[in-house]
Amino acid sequence: MSPEGEGSKFSAESYYTTQPPPLSLDHDVSLIREFVSRQEKEGRNVVLVTSGGTTVPLELNVVRFLDNFSAGTRGATSAEYFLQAGYAVIFMHRQFSLQPFSRHYSHSTNPFLDFLEIEASLNGTASPPDICVTHNKRRHLLDVLTAYKRVQAAGTLHTLTFVTVNDYLWLLRAVSHELSVLRRKSMYYLAAAVSDFFLPRQKMSEHKIQSGKGSLLIEMDQVPKILRSMVDEWTREGFVVSFKLETDGELIVPKARAALERYGHQVVIGNDLNHRKYEVVFVSRKVGSLSPRASSSEGGISHNNTDNSSFVESWLRINPPASSPVLGTDYVKEIEEDIVAELVGRHEQWISAGR
């Protein structure tokens, strides 16, 4: 049942007063507080990267749930580029989805064990066989390992996990509050694929739904649009970047514009499910066209504004991998490298504009 009665919608406020927080929330928040305060002392910008899909449980003792396609590639890859750019990163990801650094070896197309060889023991010695890294994989592994160790030593990566859409919503609010002390030095990069629908606790069956009645009809509620509260109440002057995924390319720009209009944040990055690794569009307000919150500046990539709306679109494209690897190396261009470079530039301008 919806909080204000049958058929009514959850607002952000009614959501948080009726749906229970995850058990680990207080613990997670205390670790985040420590992390943010250390980064603040060390003068770093901090970005919250959300990544991966959310589940929607159908029962309290969960046997079944709805899920979505997201593997967390966008978030994990972007987190690495933010770290490389000197940011501290709070990586809030779906449990078991891809993570920065280990992502290079988690995928079934690049299995970790294929990088290792067994070195036979030398003739006549009783020493057991040893392992070593396959020769032509060493350079890449060394690069990944070096970056990973550097980040570990600097203490600039903090990871948090969620599973359900409820975990996600509670964590997002709590982390945003903690991060808001950094004001303009904080960025929110919302790449997770969050369910638009959920089953409120009050509507859930306690035990496994029985199949005896034949077909199953479940009416879900809409997940509240929390971006408005995030922009107006939780994040103060943080630089907020949301993503918009569509499967009909024609809808991307209009829906991204509508989101900016409605929530008043800085950037929407639009992507098409089937082209998301090679093409994205940045949608933002034109210079001089103020958001409800403050003015934002434009970045340096090619702009496309074919009408006289108050928005500007900047398309970012790379070649699909078959044509882009540099011969003789493992280097494959990733679109997140350019997405992050563009955002870092825009964020710098955002910070300067607030001085």
Strand 186-190 and strand 239-246: the pairing is parallel
DSSP 45: -
For 12, residues 6+ apart whose C-beta sits below 8 A from its C-beta are: 224, 225, 226, 228, 229
**Residues 68-87 within binding reach of ligand PAZ (CB under 6 A):** 70-74
Cα separation, 151 vs 158, whole angstroms: 10
Nearer to ligand PAZ, 69 or 125 (CB): 69
Is residue 115 a contact partner of residue 98, using CB atoms and an 8 Å limit? no
Query: Would you count residue 235 as binding ligand PAZ (CB under 6 A)?
Result: no
Query: Would you count residue 48 as binding ligand PAZ (CB under 6 A)?
Result: no
CB of 165 to ligand PAZ, least distance (A): 11
Strand 65-66 and strand 56-57: the pairing is antiparallel
The single residue among 157, 245, 259, 344 that binds ligand PAZ, judged by CB under 6 A, is 245
For 272, residues 6+ apart whose C-beta sits below 8 A from its C-beta are: 245, 246, 247, 249, 252, 279
Cα separation, 257 vs 53, whole angstroms: 23
CB of 2 to ligand PAZ, least distance (A): 22
CB of 78 to ligand PAZ, least distance (A): 9
- 328-347 in b/e form (b: 16+ CB < 10 A) is eeeeebbbbbbbbbbbbbbb
**Residues 273-292 within binding reach of ligand PAZ (CB under 6 A):** 276
**Residues 155-194 within binding reach of ligand PAZ (CB under 6 A):** 191, 193-194
Nearer to ligand PAZ, 72 or 184 (CB): 72
The single residue among 271, 284, 291, 296 that binds ligand PAZ, judged by CB under 6 A, is 271
Is residue 163 a contact partner of residue 95, using CB atoms and an 8 Å limit? yes
Query: Would you count residue 230 as binding ligand PAZ (CB under 6 A)?
Result: no
CB of 171 to ligand PAZ, least distance (A): 16
CB of 27 to ligand PAZ, least distance (A): 26
Q: Which residues of the shown chain bind ligand PAZ in the complex (CB under 6 A)?
A: 70-74, 191, 193-194, 243-245, 271, 276
